[in-house]
Structure 1
């Protein structure tokens, strides 16, 4: 597997002061979420750079082994075993390199926010909660947690206080809302600074949610 993830970027007009790394869902690409940036209505003064990486292409078992962009394989629809742990760890390592590249460019970790939708959210959780430098925030959209029972022993104290926003559609048939709530409950139980938001939608994003995300990012990076 390649050591560097290709990505789409949306840069501010001014010198970059903060970075949002946003991970797409199964079968999508970095292009999928790039158009959301202007919709967030972030002030130009935040000087935020957005990075939308493309997941590696791999065969996905539940889609008859079809090759597509995926952060990990999905071998079964059983939620306990849905995420291929090795794939999750490999992708988390690739995204970690992107975070470290931004840090090497002079952006401190606490000015870097990790966001992910669906499969991308699984990676955002996995990396963000185990990362050894404090991040600006973790945004988990319409997603779930891989091996929630392992978090207590694997987490890193650096991100114990990091704000986490968990958002989910009430009518999500791909990742049922109960799975998003289970991840939120696990974070609450472990004492994380976590916020829950739910919306009358399916496995997608809606305008009200985008406005809430924009407001939350402003608070985290403002």
Structure 2
């Protein structure tokens, strides 16, 4: 039986900090937790909406200050879509076998991660991870570039987290997912900026992120929430 191992453990380097090599981390033995398929996304709770409360206004007829919600106070740039952390979509008939472990910072943004076949714009896999969570996915073997979108309220793959509310990033280098002997070898990535981080990243434009297209029909758990 094939085992799972991690080739490297990465932490994103904070901006303007020099990178001092790559820390090697291997884990053998028990297979990492893998998200179970679900027919569709059902979040544990409705998404949070940003609501602006108008300053208290004086109701002269009753002599009381009343805080009123204005109809235009709901600040959204897109339509929210229900999503569950750990959901994914594979755009190839290749089976996912090598581990990819993703950890996101607590109390911050949610993340959509895209694995793009190296040297192309073809997305082989998309995965969604909520803020403050760790998920392990099984990735088809190959060499990939990794992009991600981050933001607060998920609006589907087309809109991501809304125009003007989404940060788009590409991680430096290629990531190899291979089989070595009796083991499938992948990567562990902490999407958390750290002073001693060993992985560089750079922001990309809306146009570059939009140019990433599925490599083929989806074959796996829906990552789009139906959008």
**TM-score (normalizing by structure 1):** 0.24
Structure showing greater Rg: 2
Question: Which has the larger helix fraction?
Answer: 1
Whose RCO is larger (CA < 8 A, sep 6+)? 2
**TM-score (normalizing by structure 2):** 0.24
Question: Which has the larger strand fraction?
Answer: 2
